Structure 1
Amino acid sequence: MAPKVLISDKLSNAAIQIFKDRGIEVDFRPELGKDKEALAEIIGNYDGLAIRSATKVTAKLLEGAKNLKVIGRAGIGVDNVDKDACSQHGIILMNTPFGNRITTAEHAIAMMFAVARQIPEASASTHAGKWEKSKFMGVELTAKTLGVIGAGNIGSIVCDRAKGLKMKVIAFDPFLSQDAADKMGVEKVELDELLKRADFITLHVPLTDATRNILSRENLEKTKKGVRIVNCARGGLVDEEALADLLKSGHIAGAALDVFAVEPATENVLFNLPNVVCTPHLGASTTEAQENVALQVAEQMSNYLLDGAVENALNLPSMTAEEAKVMGPWVKLAEYLGSFVGQMTDEPIKAINITYDGITSKMNLKALECAVIAGVMKKVNPDVNMVSAPVIAKDRGIQISKTTQDKSGVFDGYIKVTVVTDKRERAVAGTCFADGKPRFIQIKGINVDAEVGPHMLYTTNKDVPGIIGKLGTLLGENKVNLANFTLGRAAQGGEAIAIAYLDAPLPEAAKTALEATGLFHQVKPLEFAVA
């Protein structure tokens, strides 16, 4: 059955056609973005939801989104989406961070010119029939110092454009390396240094706990007298009350804002102050940007629903379509390994340790880790997936650790998963053969070669004659057919294990019969979600 996508905001016809061309059923209902009750009534029918900013994706809405797998936001900001609720419900949240970065950067530069030359006020005055040539004395950008807070996707473009304007560019960004700053041709500084030196300050960071009110009253007071502030990033980065006070005092010469703490901003303490330029969140509002993000979100959602590729996800490691093809079997293996130890463990799990050997150590480890955790947590919650599993594990206080190592055995690569409880550690390792089929290769330190099937049986016993015959006889008597069978032992006469691939789930009567022999220390039916 073809996946179904709902578009609840305005998206271009070209984006809609992308879904159709990829064989995805699509419903274009832009009126639903402002009708939460109507949206809630039908959201359960869809695998994907494509939105802009009008649709509010709340935890309550997602309670009814039983089939929803992915939400695609055409744009950068996801303030209108409850990200934590998406993760808890196992829904991937994607955005399109690159489609409007040039447009937003250009708007910041335009706002800088506007506040430097008081263009909006001069325009309004001229339209009013006044000719106040001497009133609007501006400043040049050339040779001025621009302080850029956040030198990422958009900030880096602003830096480049500002250098073209012959400005001196300094940047504060904790994630900016010295090498990257050198290549950009900007001076990397700490925040206090930027505040002290900059003639213009422009912000290009997301709104997080770390960046909220980054231009607080205290920091605004540290700025150079006559500074001009530009914010085309997110409302809440600047203390608006403090900014208004410092504008009135003359310490800050001007401000240009495209974003506000409360939007839509129909009233604000900054409105109608001299030399304050305000626009209604227009950073991404160009024809080119709107088309780019619409096309990008359609491609990303299609790639995920059809091929499993994860691009620009905010709550799951990204994995390109090419990576998905190569890693697909390994992701399934990681989930099977987690599921094996999860099903075998009855006590509360304290930690999950993952070892990546050989070729697996060079793969997308975060994606493999999420798959392992999903497998482990399925015993707790059968509906868990790679998105929701890390959230559940974190809530339960489970510690996750990983080790990478060069090829250490006969296999090109393998993954080993160990769970730790108060009573014991339990480990299983696996690999993928050339046919792409995952195999269990080691259980409890004992080497095996077991193909993974949907219905399996795991047993442990002392290595003595007659065990295999008894196992086969009792399974036959209970009409259980073996598809595959493997066994191994630690040493002759020591502990031995067997793992069987069954054609159907093990009947309770067969389990009881095996346990009644007294020959088996453990008889454990296992189920795996094998497609």
Structure 2
Amino acid sequence: MPKVLISDKMSPAAAEIFASRGIEVDVKPGMTPDELRAVIGAYDGLAIRSATKVTKDILAAATNLRVVGRAGIGVDNVDIPAASAHGVVVMNTPFGNSITTAEHAISLMLSMLRQIPAANASTHAGKWEKNRFMGVEVTGKTLGVIGVGNIGAIVADRAQGLKMKVIGFDPFLSPERAQDLGVEKVELDELFRRADVITLHTPLTDGTRGIIGADAFTKMKDGVYIVNCARGGLVVEKDLKAALDSGKVAGAALDVFAEEPAKENALFGDERVVATPHLGASTVEAQENVALQVAEQMADYLLTGAITNAINVPSVTAEEAPKLKPYMKLAEQLGSFAGQLAETGLRGVTVEYSGQVATLNTRPITAALLTGLLRPLLDSVNMVNAPIVAKERNISVTEVRSDKATDFQTQIKLTVSDERGGRSVAGTLIAGNRPRLVSVEDVAIEAELAENMLFVVNNDKPGFIGGVGRTLGESGINIASFHLGRQAPGARAICLIEVDQPLREAVLKQVQGLPNVITALSLSF
């Protein structure tokens, strides 16, 4: 009989589910790391929230542990690489608190606009300052939603019920999905320019970190309001403080901060700032939902081997894994290639499997491809939830299989369509397990995708190769490999260069400014 430990405070429903499925369960919240390390070796599963830290030391002592289940979305308290190295599946519940977080954002917005916290404190102090607290109506105001995913879509729906006009920025939001939501899709600068209230619902990635800072504030209306229930690092707090002091920002409502727990912060004590201690998921209903979900997922895995919402492993059987692993790596690289090139909302994805790969179970391969495609802007995407995320965003996914070989015995071709047309990329395996890019935009080019790469589209003219090489050399960038392809002599050409270190922005701009360069991007795999 499997044995599970619940080491954080969680709804009693979780323990009831484990027991009803025939799994022995112990509930021991509040253990110290030493206490957890001493007992963890006896358990097959560990159910946690945010308090328990699943470190390398804990995992080293967890000799029988098969799965860690996080009741909630964040897994910052789990050492994912160490868990993977120990063969431990890490699961979360990414959609269990969406409604709760969306409602908290709306609540913060209304509290901020009507100055409810300050008015409440004043009234409790015996002051009847009726004329001091002049509020702002939401009716007719424009709400700018940054990140129109699951939570952002719910916020948009609730805001429309308050008779607000909703505009949204999300690179993966298709026009059809935006229309279904009643949201006007706009670019980020336009959102900054038009919104009366801006609310953030995007993950924290390298691309979104500091998305609202000094430069963004200059593009906003005077008297704009900011709401953040997503991640603290999205807003540069010192820049927000300056914008409040200058009057550019009329108020801010924050549930998250760059450093948590936030015991001290420059924004604290300002009546224009409504602050809560990361309460987005803190409702009875949400805690019940995530507890139920994590218990069901863990029980399914321990009893049947089914894997749901896994962070670090795909949904693959033991028999399939050796055959599928290299194809999944190839697919994720192809998806990442296309995702890093994406500029507008995706509409559709077509995956063509030809030759040997067409005879395999392609579902996990497609999931790996979607993970690579969506991850550049959605870091919470994994091989389990990537198809769900694509469906929620109205991105159609089509698989085409043909067991007939093309120019290669086995090939995966990805075609992505967006508002500006489409692009394609194809790859194969060499020596049975080494991914190799074989074409981009139907231009033949063979290359292994590496950690740091420069991708250039250019006109095929003399002097281009020398110009690129000289620019990189003068910047101290060493070239590891150089790959070329072209449509025809003198026509459009493609260049992929592997370099030994990440390209600095200044170097990339130099390459972009070279004669005959159409596009130059820094890619990472």
2 CA distance for matches of 1:221 and 1:122?
30
- CA apart distance, 1:9: 0.1
Q: Look up the equivalent residue of 2:364 and give its one-letter code.
A: N
- CA apart distance, 1:4: 1.8
- CA apart distance, 1:162: 0.5
What SS does structure 1 have at the residue aligned with 2:357? Answer: strand
What SS does structure 2 have at the residue aligned with 1:233? Answer: coil
Match in the other structure for 1:360: 361
> Contact 1:99–1:289 (CA<8 Å) still a contact in 2?
yes
Q: Look up the equivalent residue of 2:402 and give its one-letter code.
A: D
> Contact 2:411–2:429 (CA<8 Å) still a contact in 1?
no
> Contact 1:358–1:408 (CA<8 Å) still a contact in 2?
no
Match in the other structure for 1:17: 16
Q: For the aligned residues, what is the CA RMSD?
A: 3.1
> Contact 2:167–2:191 (CA<8 Å) still a contact in 1?
yes
- CA apart distance, 1:60: 3.3
Match in the other structure for 1:46: 43
Q: Does 1:284 align with 2:270?
A: no
The change in CA–CA distance for 1:147 and 1:88 in structure 2 (over 3 A counts) is farther
- CA apart distance, 1:270: 0.5
The change in CA–CA distance for 1:269 and 1:340 in structure 2 (over 3 A counts) is closer
1 CA distance for matches of 2:147 and 2:256?
16
> Contact 2:204–2:234 (CA<8 Å) still a contact in 1?
yes
Deviation per CA, 1:306-347, whole angstroms, max 9, x where unpaired? 122222222233x5xxxxxxxx7xx34423547999xxxxxx
The change in CA–CA distance for 1:415 and 1:192 in structure 2 (over 3 A counts) is closer
> Contact 1:195–1:219 (CA<8 Å) still a contact in 2?
yes
> Contact 1:7–1:29 (CA<8 Å) still a contact in 2?
yes
Deviation per CA, 1:255-305, whole angstroms, max 9, x where unpaired? 011111111111111101121101111111111111111111100111111
2 CA distance for matches of 1:225 and 1:44?
58
- CA apart distance, 1:70: 1.6
> Contact 1:19–1:26 (CA<8 Å) still a contact in 2?
yes
The change in CA–CA distance for 1:335 and 1:289 in structure 2 (over 3 A counts) is closer
Q: Look up the equivalent residue of 2:268 and give its one-letter code.
A: F
- How many residues are aligned here? 364
- CA apart distance, 1:92: 2.0
Stretches of structure 1 that go unaligned for 5 or more consecutive residues are: 320-327, 342-352, 370-385, 388-402, 428-531
Deviation per CA, 1:426-470, whole angstroms, max 9, x where unpaired? 89xxxxxxxxxxxxxxxxxxxxxxxxxxxxxxxxxxxxxxxxxxx
- CA apart distance, 1:357: 2.1
Match in the other structure for 1:434: none
Deviation per CA, 1:359-396, whole angstroms, max 9, x where unpaired? 834x3325799xxxxxxxxxxxxxxxx99xxxxxxxxx
2:401 to 400, 405, 419: 405
What SS does structure 1 have at the residue aligned with 2:38? Answer: helix
Deviation per CA, 1:67-109, whole angstroms, max 9, x where unpaired? 3222111112222223333333332221112221111111100
Deviates more, 1:217-226 or 1:97-106: 217-226
1 CA distance for matches of 2:325 and 2:277?
50
Q: Look up the equivalent residue of 1:47 and give its one-letter code.
A: D
The change in CA–CA distance for 1:266 and 1:336 in structure 2 (over 3 A counts) is closer
The change in CA–CA distance for 1:210 and 1:58 in structure 2 (over 3 A counts) is farther
- CA apart distance, 1:407: 5.2
Match in the other structure for 2:290: 293
Match in the other structure for 2:430: 420
1:306 to 292, 303, 307: 303
What SS does structure 1 have at the residue aligned with 2:234? Answer: coil
| Equivalence map 1:514-525=2 (5 Å) | none
1:37 to 34, 37, 62: 34
Match in the other structure for 1:190: 187
The change in CA–CA distance for 1:8 and 1:126 in structure 2 (over 3 A counts) is same
Stretches of structure 2 that go unaligned for 5 or more consecutive residues are: 328-353, 370-381, 384-398, 413-427, 435-525
> Contact 2:217–2:248 (CA<8 Å) still a contact in 1?
no
| Equivalence map 1:232-381=2 (5 Å) | 232-317=229-314, 319=315, 331-335=317-321, 337=323, 355-357=356-358, 360-361=361-362, 363-365=363-365
2 CA distance for matches of 1:191 and 1:426?
41
- CA apart distance, 1:122: 0.6
Match in the other structure for 1:527: none
2 CA distance for matches of 1:51 and 1:260?
23
Q: Look up the equivalent residue of 1:273 and give its one-letter code.
A: D
TM-score (norm 1): 0.63
What SS does structure 2 have at the residue aligned with 1:81? Answer: coil
> Contact 1:196–1:222 (CA<8 Å) still a contact in 2?
yes
Greater Rg over alpha carbons, structure: 1
| Equivalence map 1:182-221=2 (5 Å) | 182-221=179-218
2:143 to 141, 146, 149: 146
- CA apart distance, 1:253: 0.1
Q: Does 1:61 align with 2:40?
A: no
Q: Look up the equivalent residue of 2:167 and give its one-letter code.
A: I
What SS does structure 2 have at the residue aligned with 1:27? Answer: strand
- CA apart distance, 1:19: 0.6
- CA apart distance, 1:146: 0.5
> Contact 2:324–2:365 (CA<8 Å) still a contact in 1?
no
What SS does structure 2 have at the residue aligned with 1:16? Answer: helix
2 CA distance for matches of 1:286 and 1:368?
34
Q: Does 1:101 align with 2:95?
A: no
Q: Look up the equivalent residue of 2:401 and give its one-letter code.
A: Q
TM-score (norm 2): 0.64
> Contact 1:16–1:26 (CA<8 Å) still a contact in 2?
yes
